[in-house]
Amino acid sequence: MQQERAVNPYDRFPMVIVEHLIKRFGSFNALSDVNLTVARGEKIVLCGPSGSGKSTLIRCINHIEKHDYGRIVVDGVELTDRIRDINSVRCEVGMVFQSFNLFPHLSVVENCMLAPLKVRGLPQSEALDRAMALLRKVRIHDQAKKYPAQLSGGQQQRVAIARALCMQPKIMLFDEPTSALDPEMVKEVLETMVELANDGMTMVCVTHEMGFAREVADRVVFMDCGSIVEEGDPSTFFRAPNTERARVFLNQIV
C-alpha cells in the first residue's frame, strides 16, 4: 500500500523566486535588479564573465550574503532580516563551492554526519547510515575513514556533494565546482552532477562547462555587470545568442 504523502502547501510554487534583487558592496552594485524564478526540478546553468555577480547571486539565495533590496523566496519562505530561523531555510539549500570547504580535522564520513547530527538532530546511527549511502552514491564509500587531505581534489569535491546531500536539500547550488580541479578530475565530478540532475534535483550551477550545460540545463542564464542579460535553452543560447555580450563571452570560453 502506498504511504500517504504529507502535503506541502508550497509544492505548487516555484522553488526559488528572486525579484528586483539589488546587492551593494559599499556604493558598488554587485547585483542590479535581478529577477529569476527556479521551478521545482529545474536545472539552471548560470554563466558570465568574472565579476558579473554569479557567486553573489547564489550566495544571496543561500542567505550567506544579505541582499539590500528586492525579494528572495525559497520554497515559499521569504528571506528577510526578520526571519527567525535562517538555518531552517539554509537546511533546504545545499551548496558546493569551488574550494570544497571540507572540515580538515574530520574524516570523510564525519564531514557528512556533522550537520545532520547538529542541525537536523538525527540519531548517530541514522546519520551514519545516511552518510554511507550518499558516499556510496558518489562512489567514494571506500574512503569514508580518510581525511580530506588524503583525497584527490575530485574525490574531495564528490565528498562535498555527498555532504550537502546528507541534509536532504530541496535545491543544490554549485559555484564553479570544477574550476579548481585538474582536468582529469573534472569528469568524475560532472558525472556525479549529471546523476543528481537525472534524479530530479533542482539545481543552479555556476559553471563554464558547456558540455554539462548542453546535457543537463533546462535553461542557461547569462549575467554581465550584475544583471541577467540573456537567458534561453542551451541549444539556442550556444548556437545563436541574442546579445553581443554573450557572443563575446562564448567566443572567449570555447
Residues that bind ligand ADP (CB under 6 A): 25, 30, 48, 50-56
Nearer to ligand ADP, 110 or 175 (CB): 175
Nearer to Mg ion, 51 or 123 (CB): 51
E strands within the chain? Answer: 16-25, 28-38, 43-47, 69-74, 77-78, 93-96, 171-175, 202-206, 219-224, 227-232
Minimum CB distance to ligand ADP, residue 35 (Å)? 17
Compute the distance between CA of residue 18 and CA of residue 9 in angstroms, rounded to an integer.
Answer: 20
Nearer to ligand ADP, 2 or 50 (CB): 50
Biggest CA–CA distance in the chain, Å, is: 59
Minimum CB distance to ligand ADP, residue 209 (Å)? 15
Minimum CB distance to ligand ADP, residue 59 (Å)? 7
Minimum CB distance to ligand ADP, residue 169 (Å)? 21
Helix (H, G, I), strand (E, B) or coil at 216: helix
The binder of 53, among Mg ion, ligand ADP, none, by C-beta within 5 to 8 A per type, is ligand ADP
Q: CB–CB of 226/32 below 8 Å?
A: yes
Residue nearest to Mg ion (CB): 55
Beta partners for 223? 228
Q: Which residues of this protein are in contact with Mg ion, per CB under 5 A?
A: 55
Minimum CB distance to ligand ADP, residue 116 (Å)? 29
Compute the distance between CA of residue 194 and CA of residue 209 in angstroms, rounded to an integer.
Answer: 12
The binder of 30, among ligand ADP, Mg ion, none, by C-beta within 5 to 8 A per type, is ligand ADP
Nearer to ligand ADP, 57 or 115 (CB): 57
Helix (H, G, I), strand (E, B) or coil at 100: coil
Sheet strand arrangement including 28-38: 28-38, 16-25, 69-74, 77-78
**Exposure class string for 126-156: b at 16+ Cβ within 10 A, else e:** ebbebbbebbebbebbebbeebbeebebbbb
Nearer to Mg ion, 55 or 155 (CB): 55
The binder of 125, among ligand ADP, Mg ion, none, by C-beta within 5 to 8 A per type, is none
The binder of 207, among Mg ion, ligand ADP, none, by C-beta within 5 to 8 A per type, is none
The binder of 252, among ligand ADP, Mg ion, none, by C-beta within 5 to 8 A per type, is none
Minimum CB distance to ligand ADP, residue 126 (Å)? 36
Residue with cell 569535491: 157
Residue with cell 551548496: 95
Nearer to ligand ADP, 56 or 157 (CB): 56
